[in-house]
Amino acid sequence: MARHPGVFVSEELAERGWAQRDLAMVLGVPEQTVHKLLKQQLGVTAEMSLVLGKAFGISPGLMLGLQRRYDISRLPEASDAISDRAEIIDLFPVREMIKRGWIEGGDKDRLVDEVVRFKNESIGSEEFSFAARRAHADEIPKEQRAWLYRVSQIARTMVVPDYSPHALRKAVEEMKSLRSQPEHVSHVPRLLQDAGVRFVIVEALRGGKIEGACLWIDNSPVIGMSLRYDRIDNFWFTLRHEIEHVLNGDGMDGAKVDTADELRMLGVDDPEDERLANEVSADFCVDSNLMEQFFRKKDPFFSRRDIESFADVAKTHPGLIVGQLQKRTERWNFLRALLDPVRQFILPAATYDGWGCVALL
């Protein structure tokens, strides 16, 4: 236990042979004030530390330091729950999770238990590993981590038949006929479910720049999408990209997280498996040979009329062509009117969380 400053003052008086009234006279304070200080009934203020410092020839900071240590020593020991809460704040975007209804808020003493429950329902007793499509896979932001946990939590409640790679490849072929109209995306969840793939849509958390992910639960693949960009080109490209990861068995050793924007901003090249998945996805959206011919013929002038005519030939949506032209030319505002939204069509047919709704588990 730290000593009260009054003990130090008492020792100084004894060493000097002073009485209480002597110190009171030196300080210019009532004798009762000195008495209370010596009896540890009065603390040392900043003003008192100055006059005591002058009286004893010591630094005022010494007296204030004694008082501070004494005050701290008398405080009740801080609860371990404080450090536990600090740890989960570092690992999870807790306030956003409360807003989204993923965990209960309002009771700080239950906060840690709520996050532990959320985590256990998401991954069980084993920690997630990440095979992230980003510059530093071990530094995945907490907003992306929480999003991935939510995808897994919801997926664990879904019942699907055994996964069949053959059925998934067949589903991909059927999906080609769905590309031309935005409303046709509503058939995607059923096709994936029939192939044994759990498909979950979770709105990205604020600051969580993530497009999609691939992971596995008990040998059953899960595809998660955020619909961060509500555009037909982004939907089909991201979906086909994640399907390719599933067909390749990616994500079994670590959830595959796709954050293409971050890599582009950092100037980081895609690893080989991502590059191949991108090529397959681009070819799915628009036949690569036809796209190359169209680009060479029309570059650098691409009219809306030409694109719509080409879309009829390629049997795809004009927005999928525009998406590829934007990437090739880096003209990101080019013909954005053709990038039709799809969220209104896919959500009613899918298992989803966000946009004002909380998935029922």
* pLDDT score of 265: 45
- For the chain, list the domains and their CATH numbers: 5-73 (1.10.260.40), 80-119 (no CATH), 128-286+340-353 (no CATH)
272-278: long-range pairs with CB below 8 Å, 24+? 273/245, 273/248, 274/133, 276/244, 277/241, 277/244, 277/245, 277/248, 278/241
- Is the entire prediction scored with pTM above 0.85? no
Q: Quickly count: other Cβ atoms within 10 Å of residue 295's Cβ.
A: 17
Share of the chain above pLDDT 70, in %: 91
* pLDDT score of 139: 64
* pLDDT score of 308: 96
pLDDT at 268 over 80: no
Most confident of 174-188, 253-267, 270-284: 174-188
CA distance 271 to 134: 10
* pLDDT score of 243: 97
Name residues whose C-beta falls within 8 Å of residue 140's C-beta, 6 or more positions apart in sequence. 130, 132, 134, 257
Structure confidence by residue, pLDDT tens digits, 44-57: 999 999 999 999 99
pLDDT at 304 over 60: yes
Bridge partners, 223 (sequence order): 199, 214
Q: For 285-291, what is the mean pLDDT?
A: 96
